[in-house]
Amino acid sequence: MKRSELFFSAIQVPIDFAMIVLAAISAFAIRDIPQILALKPKLYEFPFESYIKIVLIVVPFFILIYAIGGLYDIRVTRKFWQETIRVFAATSIALVIIIVTIFLKREWFSSRFIILAAWGLVVIYIPIARYLLQSIQKWLLIHKGVGVHRLLLIGGNEKLYQIKKLLKNNLGLGYRVIGQVGYVNLKKIKEIRKQRGIDEMILG
């Protein structure tokens, strides 16, 4: 993994944390919208201070579930919709565990509306934040070469020619061909690695 990918992977954690907290606050605020109150009157008042304390306890658990689900294995070549599905699945798993905990620990708040609203907003907020971050990462990749994987091709067949053409016409894939040698020549490969750097090789 490139250093830039490690950076974007690391920064994703506080961003996810902030998005989950924002979703929880939004869900709490939605309850006071007149149209929502008309459909779903408040059965009881729950202090915001107590609510946010619970949220701050729960959020690290969400981050843990996301980490277990591989949501921080970030490469610039990842697919947005695949990642959105993984966010949906991980958030749903965390929600089920929280619901079970609420049933076992009755002193915690038990507003089904807030729980479901927060879940829905998390599933929206986090993919949007990740999409924006991915867009920045991809822009840096295409325009500045940040995070590009330097690729050496070994061989001279048609397959390698097609790969080279594909990568040249699709910079967003995150690979740049830095050289090509006709056969495995360790001396030549070491020379190219020293001069240009090699991240990956394809042998044709």
With 90 as the cut, is the pLDDT of residue 5 above it? Answer: no
Coil/strand/helix, residue 101: helix
pLDDT digits (tens, 9 = 90+) for 95-132: 888 888 776 665 555 567 888 899 999 999 999 999 99
pLDDT-based confidence at 76, cuts 50/70/90? low
With 90 as the cut, is the pLDDT of residue 93 above it? Answer: yes
Complete DSSP assignment for 109-140: ---HHHHHHHHHHHHHHHHHHHHHHHHHHHHI
The predicted model scores a pTM of 0.79
Domain locations in the chain as residue ranges: 3-143, 148-203
pLDDT-based confidence at 33, cuts 50/70/90? confident
